Structure 1
Amino acid sequence: MPGTILASDMHLDPERPESMALFGRFLDEIAAGADALYLLGDLFEVWLGDDAIHPAYEPVLERLAALSRAGTAVCIQHGNRDFLMGSGLAERLGATLLPEETVADLGGTPTLLLHGDSLCTDDTAYQAFRAQVRDPAWQAGFLALSPEERMEQARQARAASREAQAAVDSEITDVNADAVAEAFRRHDVRQMIHGHTHRPADHALSVDGRPARRLVLPQWTDRGGYIRCDEDTCELLAYPWESRLPTSDGEYC
């Protein structure tokens, strides 16, 4: 079916082959034939560099490359887990590696696309970590390590992250309302789509007295979800269709 498909937070992991199989089916059943596929970060649980690809990722990478060859525009953004995806991966997939914030015309509406972690400004410890790992000098030093050394550092960082998040109030890890409003103003748009928070919803907002819409993509565990945009609108959908996603008022769709 033509249209644009958006998803994020698949967190593909060789230790969870069922999640990779689920996403593979999604690419075959939902993304195939789409005009464009936008993956807004955290496609992978961890990405150690384009020169250190785990063999378990190969089927998904081949499916993405096949989509591109078939005419679907594949566009990928960095997340907080896979910020080291580079031009080598993009070239292999025939994909476009998007900047941290990009505006696309979706459903007839200019729409700001971003992973969403930059909006969580109340989590100051995470923002400091984010600034460090997005620094080109830090990334160059990390990529100069052997794949084994990178993996060990990644294991340590993940363990520290789990420990830190367990002690943080869940509201701190959600988006900050002022940061959201500023992003709307910065790009002069009235629609935004992001992931990261794992709180899927369709929020109706008011920014400077004007209506605005913030769509939040879900994470993928045993099931997932996505947004489909046609020429008229964008809709948050579950995958598989039997599953349900929460709306902003706590009900399910």
Structure 2
Amino acid sequence: MTTLFISDLHLSPSQPQITDCFVKFMREEAVHAEALYVLGDLFEFWIGDDDPSDFAQAIKAEFKSLTQSGIACYFIQGNRDFLLNKRFCRETGITLLDEHCVIDLYGRKTVILHGDTLCIDDHKYQAFRAKVHMPWLQWIFNRLPFFTRRHIVNKIQGDIRDVKAQKSLDIMDVTQSEVETLMKQHGTDLMIHGHTHRPNIHHFEINNQPVTRIVLGDWYQQGSVLVCTPKSQHLETRRFA
């Protein structure tokens, strides 16, 4: 019995080694799990569910094959794929979850999320996030021609790279007080998230009670998977071919 968690793959046609590792993972590991949770940033940037590219269709096909084999698959939007929506879910069979979701992980109440909402010291990013999550703005964006959306996204990605290069690493990490607030709010002693690209298992206390925060790794240099069983949680890596 295993439940798998992944995030921050940043899949794109320009990084075939990541896609190959992902496909191998889906076909050889995920297919034998009870469930797969994708905690955001599956794609480098998802422009819309109507993406006609062969690349997008190939990724959809992997998820469809997995869910049709009977494996439950859940998705939380990240900061790179917040436009992934209902059509993707219909075409693949995955279930889209809220940005903060509480699950029962083998009897342990667990809060899962992408992780960007925990980085509250990054005020500029939080302002940007609030803007792009406005329903009316997404409604307008999704009705633009696909090539126009792609041009806009390319410009945004360039701006993001420039801004990140000037930020301190501490600002882009989670704020501990926000972690504790969210865990207390949901009454959980286990949190799982991605986003920061700092894989680790953190043990600390809230109100003198032991709690755990597990941070998933990115897939830039190797695959990263959290493997959970009824008795354990292990962060593991997967080599690129």
- What SS does structure 2 have at the residue aligned with 1:174? coil
The 4+ residue runs of structure 1 with deviation greater than 4 A are none
In structure 2, the gaps of 5 or more residues are none
- What is the CA–CA distance in structure 2 between the aligned matches of 1:71 and 1:153, rounded to whole Å? 38
Report the counterpart of residue 248 of structure 1 in structure 2. Answer: none
Matched with 2:235 is 236
Q: Which residue of 1 aligns with 2:91?
A: 92
Distance in structure 2 (CA, Å) of the matches to 1:28 and 1:184: 34
TM-score by length of structure 1 reads 0.92
Does structure 2 conserve the Cα–Cα contact (< 8 Å) formed by 1:106 and 1:234? no
Report the equivalent of 1:194: 193
Paired residues in the alignment total 241
Match of 1:190, as an amino acid?
Answer: D
Q: What is the rounded CA distance, in whole Å, between the counterparts of 1:126 and 1:53 in structure 2?
A: 29
Partners of 1:191 and 1:214 within 8 A in 2: yes
- TM-score, length-normalised on structure 2? 0.96
Structure 1 residue 28: Cα displacement:
1.4
Look up the match of 1:123.
122
2:141 — aligned with what? 142
* Residue pair 2:102, 2:109 contacting (<8 A) in 1 also: yes
| 1:14–1:57 Cα contact (<8 Å) kept | no
After superposition, the Cα gap between the structure-2 partners of 1:153 and 1:241, relative to the gap in structure 1 and judged at 3 Å, is closer
* Unaligned 5+ runs, structure 1: 243-253
Shift, 1:53, TM fit: 4.0
Opposite residue 5 of structure 1, the aligned amino acid is L
Q: Is the 2:100–2:112 contact (alpha carbons within 8 Å) kept by the matching residues of 1?
A: yes
Amino acid of the structure 2 residue aligned with 1:46: F
Report the counterpart of residue 215 of structure 2 in structure 1. Answer: 216
CA RMSD of aligned residues (A): 1.4
**Matched position secondary structure for 1:32:** helix
Partners of 1:241 and 1:217 in 2: CA distance = 17
Letter in 2 for 1:191: L
Corresponding letter in the other structure for 1:153: I
Superposed displacement of residue 101, structure 1: 0.7
Equivalent residue of 1:196, what SS?
A: coil
Q: Percent identity?
A: 37
Q: Is the 8 A contact 1:106 1:233 kept in 2?
A: no
Aligned mates of 1:73, 1:225 — CA distance in 2: 20
Is the 1:108–1:232 Cα contact (8 Å) retained in structure 2?
Answer: no
Aligned AA (1:98): L
